[in-house]
Amino acid sequence: MTDPRYHYRVVSPPGHDELARLEFEALTGERAPAHPPWNEREDASDHPGLLWARAGVDVGRAAYVAECCRLLARGTTLDEMLAAAADLQLRMERFRVHARKRRGTKVSSSQQIERAVANTIIGRPDLSRPAVELIAQVHEREWLLSELVSRTTNGWLGHEQRPHQYSSALPPRIARAMVNLVAVPGDRLIDPCCGSGTALVEASSMGIEPFGWEINRTIVEQAAANICHHQQAAWLVVGDGRTARGSWNGAVLDLPYGISSERCDDVARGLVEHALEVARLVAVVTVDDLSGLFAGCGGEVLGTATVIKNRLHRRVYWARSIGAC
């Protein structure tokens, strides 16, 4: 097995670390450490930790994975890293170097680091419109020089603003991460309880064809208004999502809150079971513990996450259908 040559910078607000880990795993196909390293900072000025993988992927659509970089050179000191870079005799045109220096690091200024790295490269820099971006940074007391492969566009930003809002609606950033767990651009996605259309907007903006079911006609009309507001497109159906017929690559399911306890198990089971019948991958968010539900519904849980905001604890389940069409 080859050593990982790509590292990913993950940025997540407090309480979102576990969902960020799942998004990293879905995008890269790599397992993330159980304890998020991006929380392990020596002081508040530290940059978020890095997760390593053997392949580099496009993270442009990510909610929490900010960057993917390819490692070029490393060293226990800045001078050692510069020597390793010089040995590579890198040839690049129109490059720019960006130094990320931890506060209090007793080395040269960021500008001096950038010039020192640039001096190891054969080619012309371009600070205004670079074709290649290089990043020099400290990680776990080691200096790394890497080439930027891809960076998130933060496409979910601004999607909070829409004509129709609900306090219980899924925040766009969480919805985007959940879509990334189950679908890629070009796929078809179903949301059998689409509500005001948050997940549909995120899916459409990523080049995924979304289909939404909602039993309340008024809410469907509001979802349509929200989708149009963001200049996106989606198929909308007034009806019970458990009756949807067809096949989809992925399903996103935000289980309704506030259902009476007598009906909760039956409604949740019916929605999850149907989603696993019509989609290969399923992401479910709920406030309830569904850990024992998936095996009986024909699903294999790939990962779980708790997303915390104030007193609300959302639980995300990422599952694969055992017998999906």
pLDDT per residue as tens digits for the range 183-214: 999 999 999 999 999 999 999 999 999 999 99
Per-domain residue ranges of the chain: 6-151, 172-321
The 10s digit of each residue's pLDDT in 12-26 is 999 999 999 999 999
What is residue 105's predicted lDDT score, i.e. its pLDDT?
61
Q: Are strands 65-75 and 50-53 parallel, antiparallel or unpaired?
A: unpaired
36: alpha, beta or left? (left if phi > 0; alpha if psi -120 to 50):
beta
User: How far, in Å, are 53, 56, 59, 72 from residue 69 at the CA level?
Assistant: 10, 7, 10, 9
Average pLDDT over residues 138-153: 93
Q: What angle do CA 57, 64, 20 make, to 5 degrees?
A: 95
Cα dihedral across residues 26, 32, 34, 39: positive or negative: negative
pLDDT level of residue 225 (50, 70, 90 thresholds): very high
For the chain, what is the radius of gyration of the CA atoms?
Answer: 22
What is residue 309's predicted lDDT score, i.e. its pLDDT?
83
pLDDT, greater one: 42 or 207: 207
Mean pLDDT check: name the lowest of 9-18, 67-76, 260-269, 294-303: 260-269
Q: To the nearest whole number, what is the mean pLDDT of the chain?
A: 90
Residues 219, 236 contacting (CB under 8 angstroms): no
Phi, psi of 265 (to 5 degrees): -60, -45
Average pLDDT over residues 40-60: 73
Residue with tokens 């990962």: 303
Q: Is the pLDDT assigned to residue 77 strictly greater than 70?
A: yes
Average pLDDT over residues 30-36: 77
Cα dihedral across residues 321, 63, 26, 224: positive or negative: positive
Q: Is the pLDDT assigned to residue 35 strictly greater than 80?
A: no
C-beta atoms surrounding 201 within 10 Å? 29
pLDDT level of residue 260 (50, 70, 90 thresholds): very low
Q: Nearest to residue 179, comparing CAs of 254, 111, 128, 124? A: 254
pLDDT level of residue 257 (50, 70, 90 thresholds): low
What is residue 220's predicted lDDT score, i.e. its pLDDT?
97
Burial class (CB in 10 A: 0-12, 13-18, 19+), 261: exposed
Are both 6-151 and 172-321 of the same fold?
Answer: no
What is residue 2's predicted lDDT score, i.e. its pLDDT?
59
Phi, psi of 316 (to 5 degrees): -110, 130
Average pLDDT over residues 126-134: 96
Q: Is the pLDDT assigned to residue 182 strictly greater than 50?
A: yes
Q: Nearest to residue 148, comparing CAs of 234, 69, 229, 40? A: 69
Task: Determine the Cα–Cα distance for residues 131 and 122; give it in Å rounded to an integer.
Answer: 15
For the chain, give the percent of residues with pLDDT over 70: 89
C-beta atoms surrounding 74 within 10 Å? 15
What is residue 204's predicted lDDT score, i.e. its pLDDT?
98
C-beta atoms surrounding 125 within 10 Å? 18
CA 185 to chain centre: 14
What is residue 261's predicted lDDT score, i.e. its pLDDT?
40
What is residue 263's predicted lDDT score, i.e. its pLDDT?
47
CATH class for domain 6-151? alpha beta
Residues 169, 175 contacting (CB under 8 angstroms): no
Task: Determine the Cα–Cα distance for residues 263 and 208; give it in Å rounded to an integer.
Answer: 32
In single-letter form, the type of residue at position 26 comes to A
Matching CATH number, 172-321, of 3.40.50.150, 3.30.9.40, 3.40.50.620, 3.40.640.10 = 3.40.50.150
Q: Nearest to residue 111, comparing CAs of 125, 92, 132? A: 125
Task: Determine the Cα–Cα distance for residues 116 and 230; give it in Å rounded to an integer.
Answer: 45
C-beta atoms surrounding 45 within 10 Å? 11
End-to-end alpha carbon distance in the chain: 33
Residue with tokens 């900010």: 66
Mean pLDDT check: name the lowest of 54-68, 147-161, 188-202, 247-261: 247-261
Q: Is the pLDDT assigned to residue 79 strictly greater than 50?
A: yes
Q: What is the token pair recorded at 235?
A: 């198929």
Residues 142, 79 contacting (CB under 8 angstroms): no
Residue with tokens 């419109």: 129
